[in-house]
């Protein structure tokens, strides 16, 4: 067993590989590699170079890096895991040796072959049936006896029971002083720590496997977000992590989130990151700010589900008897309170946008989240996104729209100051496009600018 276990020892493995090539596959090491340690290693207090610069600006030498890269559990549980693997493999090898050495196994194996050979005699004469029948009975008896022997052996040597393994962040885990030092390294690991998948499951289970923005209905494509960004010293610990859907995670402007904007493409929306775009009618480029391309807007069933799940109620009378209406013509969402006749109306957008916006103006009575989205990442924040109309009883008192008109990007006329429009030649015409005053047909203003 000792010789077998040695083959799977991390130190034995690392001794046979090129360490420099081995750590080249770790992106965090390559990005944070330092050729000279200005301070001693956080674990061994040595100065062996090169090393790794952690997020808290402490140093980890190459020797300690290669050692802890193979660690998954604290010292006690890592030892129990290795002992379990050793016992399980030893039992497997002993079981195979018993099967091969069992005399009944040596009997029914060749006899089984003879049974199939003897069946060929039946084609010569039916009187030869006694031979295959006799061999088959011997084969069944030997195989049955072998099964009994193997069952007795397994009862004497049952399968080893796997230990109860606890990760570094498990509150019931027993940590040694060295485990605590290693945990500090993992908490400040550049990039994702070695046991990121475990941390992700812990945080998602704590947050109920849902986005922590109140009113957000997303339960799929969940991401784990650092409350304090890693670039600002945030650690990989559960209290600094929170579950967000891909939409609200993309609204966070932290360094490193540029890839989130470009990668998110769903049936409901596409996140478009900031980029430069060629001017359509003039030379040069213009900046396009990050925005959302909406593909499927909120439906009435989605709206009702959000209101019921979060227990949205009227903040004035605390009544939960709310009615909803969606105008596809005006692309508006309306919520009415049947008790005090208050009404909220706003633009119809994505479920991930409309739900949290309603949760800001209505009262959330259950399943309240703990994160506020950064709306300014996709549009100018407006406090009147959902406007309140008290005592709405007639259509004449309702406003048609709460969406502000966009400012025109057209140049101004140098003569009268009015907006201008781009006038292009039609097919077959050979004059150049130019900007002309929009008041030409009204006042006769002939102001123009070359395009």
- pLDDT band at residue 381 using 50, 70 and 90 as cut-offs: very low
pLDDT of residue 306: 93
Q: State the average pLDDT over residues 368-384.
A: 73
Say yes or no: 427 and 363 in one domain. no
In a domain, 378, yes or no: yes
* Residue 40 is assigned to a structural domain of this protein: no
Same domain, 111 and 202: no
Q: What is the pLDDT of residue 4?
A: 40
Terminal C-alpha separation, the chain: 83
Q: Residue 419, SS3?
A: strand
pLDDT digits (tens, 9 = 90+) for 34-55: 888 888 998 888 888 788 888 8
Burial of 364 (0-12, 13-18, 19+ CB in 10 A): middle
Domain boundary among 107, 138, 156: 156
Claim to verify: residue 279 and residue 193 sit in the same structural domain: yes
Tell me the residue range of the domain where 431 lies. Answer: 420-450
Which pair of tokens denotes residue 85? 């693997």
Instruction: Indicate if the alpha-carbon torsion angle 188, 189, 192, 195 is positive or negative.
Output: negative
Q: What is the pLDDT of residue 30?
A: 65
Task: Specify the pTM.
Answer: 0.64
Final residue before a domain boundary, out of 264, 292, 320 = 292
Nearest to 275 by CA among 287, 284, 264, 267: 287
Domain count, the chain: 4
Going by pLDDT thresholds of 50, 70 and 90, the confidence category of residue 154 is very high
Same domain flag for 374 and 444: no
Three-class SS state of 142: helix
Q: Give the mean pLDDT of the chain.
A: 81
Q: 298-318: per-residue pLDDT in tens?
A: 999 999 999 999 999 999 898
Q: pLDDT band at 213, cuts 50/70/90?
A: very high
Does residue 135 sit in the same domain as residue 200?
no
Tokens coding 128: 């030869």
Of the candidates 91, 97, 102, the residue with the CA atom closest to the CA atom of residue 148? 102
Cβ atoms of residues 371 and 250 within 8 Å? no
Least confident window among 21-25, 222-226, 231-235: 21-25
Say whether both 363 and 287 belong to one domain. Answer: no
| pLDDT at site 29 | 60
Q: Does residue 424 surpass a pLDDT of 70?
A: yes
Residue 165 lies in a domain: no
Instruction: Choose one of 241, 269, 292: the last residue of a domain.
Output: 292
Instruction: Look at residue 63 and tell me if it is in a domain.
Output: no
d(CA 83, CA 73): 13
Domain match, 363 and 346 both: yes
Q: Give the pLDDT confidence of 384-399 residue by residue, as tens digits.
A: 456 665 544 434 444 4
Q: Please give the helix or strand (H or E) that residue 94 lies within, else none.
A: helix 75-101
Q: Residue 107 in 3-state DSSP?
A: helix
CA distances (Å), origin 393, targets 324, 337, 341, 397, 413: 15, 12, 8, 8, 45
The SS3 assignment for 446 reads coil
DSSP code per residue over 378-402: TS---TTSSEEETT--SGGGS-S--
Residue 279 sits in the same domain as residue 198:
yes
Residue 20 within a domain = no
Q: Is 57 contained in some domain?
A: no
More reliable by pLDDT, 261 or 57: 57
- Predicted confidence (pLDDT) at residue 203 exceeds the cutoff of 90: yes
Note whether residue 201 is domain-resident.
Answer: yes
Report which of residues 79 and 406 the model is more confident about: 79
Q: CA Rg, the chain, in Å?
A: 36
* Helix residue ranges per DSSP H, 266-316: 300-310
Q: Residue 263: what pLDDT?
A: 78
Percent of all residues in the chain with a pLDDT value above 90, rounded to a whole number: 25
Per-residue b/e over 275-306, b at no fewer than 16 CB within 10 Å?
Answer: eeeeeeeeeeeeeeebebeeeebbeeebbeeb
pLDDT reported for residue 396: 40
Judge whether 176 lies within some domain.
no
Q: Are residues 246 and 323 in the same domain?
A: no
pLDDT score of 272: 81
Do 327 and 387 fall into the same domain?
yes
| In contact, 433 and 424? CB cutoff 8 Å | yes
Segment 22-38 shows an average pLDDT of 69
pLDDT at 19: 54
- Answer for the pair 302, 308: CB distance below 8 angstroms, yes or no: no
Q: What is the DSSP string of 16-69?
A: TS-HHHHHTT-HHHHHSEESS-SS-BTTT----SSEEE-TTS-EEEHHHHHHHT
- Identify whether residues 304 and 383 lie together within a single domain: yes
Pair (259, 310) in one structural domain: no
Q: 313-355: per-residue pLDDT in tens? A: 999 898 899 999 998 888 899 999 988 888 889 889 999 999 9
């Amino acid at each position: 067993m000792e010789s077998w276990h040695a083959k799977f020892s991390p130190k034995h493995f690392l001794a046979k590989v090129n360490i420099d090539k081995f750590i080249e596959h770790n992106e965090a090491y390559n990005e944070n590699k330092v050729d000279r340690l200005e301070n001693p290693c956080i674990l061994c207090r040595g100065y062996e170079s090169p090393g790794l610069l952690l997020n808290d600006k402490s140093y980890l030498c190459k020797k300690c890096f290669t050692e802890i890269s193979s660690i998954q559990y604290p010292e006690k549980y890592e030892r129990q895991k290795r002992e379990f693997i050793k016992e399980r493999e030893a039992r497997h090898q002993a079981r195979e040796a018993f099967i091969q050495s069992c005399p009944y196994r040596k009997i029914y194996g060749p006899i089984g072959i003879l049974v199939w050979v003897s069946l060929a005699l039946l084609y010569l004469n039916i009187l030869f049936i006694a031979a295959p029948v006799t061999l088959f009975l011997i084969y069944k008896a030997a195989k049955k006896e072998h099964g009994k022997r193997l069952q007795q052996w397994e009862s004497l040597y049952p399968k080893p029971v796997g230990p109860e393994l606890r990760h570094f962040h498990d509150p019931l885990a027993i940590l040694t002083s060295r485990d605590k030092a290693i945990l500090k390294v993992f908490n400040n690991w550049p990039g994702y720590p070695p046991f990121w998948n475990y941390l992700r499951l812990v945080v998602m289970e704590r947050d109920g496997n849902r986005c922590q923005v109140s009113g957000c209905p997303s339960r799929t494509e969940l991401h784990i977000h650092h409350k304090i960004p890693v670039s600002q010293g945030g650690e990989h610990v559960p209290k600094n992590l929170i579950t967000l859907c891909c939409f609200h995670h993309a609204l966070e402007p932290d360094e490193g989130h540029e890839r989130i904007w470009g990668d998110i493409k769903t049936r409901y929306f596409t996140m478009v990151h900031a980029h430069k775009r060629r001017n359509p009618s003039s030379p040069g480029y213009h900046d396009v700010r990050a925005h959302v391309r909406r593909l499927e807007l909120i439906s009435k069933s989605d709206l009702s589900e959000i209101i019921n799940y979060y227990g949205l109620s009227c903040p004035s009378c605390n009544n939960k008897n709310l009615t909803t209406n969606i105008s596809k013509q005006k692309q508006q969402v309306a919520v009415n309170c049947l008790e005090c006749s208050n009404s909220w109306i706003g633009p119809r957008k994505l479920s991930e946008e409309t739900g949290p916006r309603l949760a800001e103006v209505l009262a959330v009575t259950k399943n309240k989240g703990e994160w506020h989205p950064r709306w300014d990442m996709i549009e100018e924040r407006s406090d009147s996104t959902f406007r309140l109309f008290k005592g709405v009883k007639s259509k004449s008192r309702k406003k048609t729209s709460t969406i502000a008109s966009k400012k025109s990007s057209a140049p101004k006329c140098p003569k009268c100051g009015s907006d201008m429009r781009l006038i292009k030649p039609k097919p077959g015409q050979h004059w150049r496009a130019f900007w002309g005053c929009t008041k030409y047909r009204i006042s006769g203003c002939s102001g123009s600018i070359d395009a």
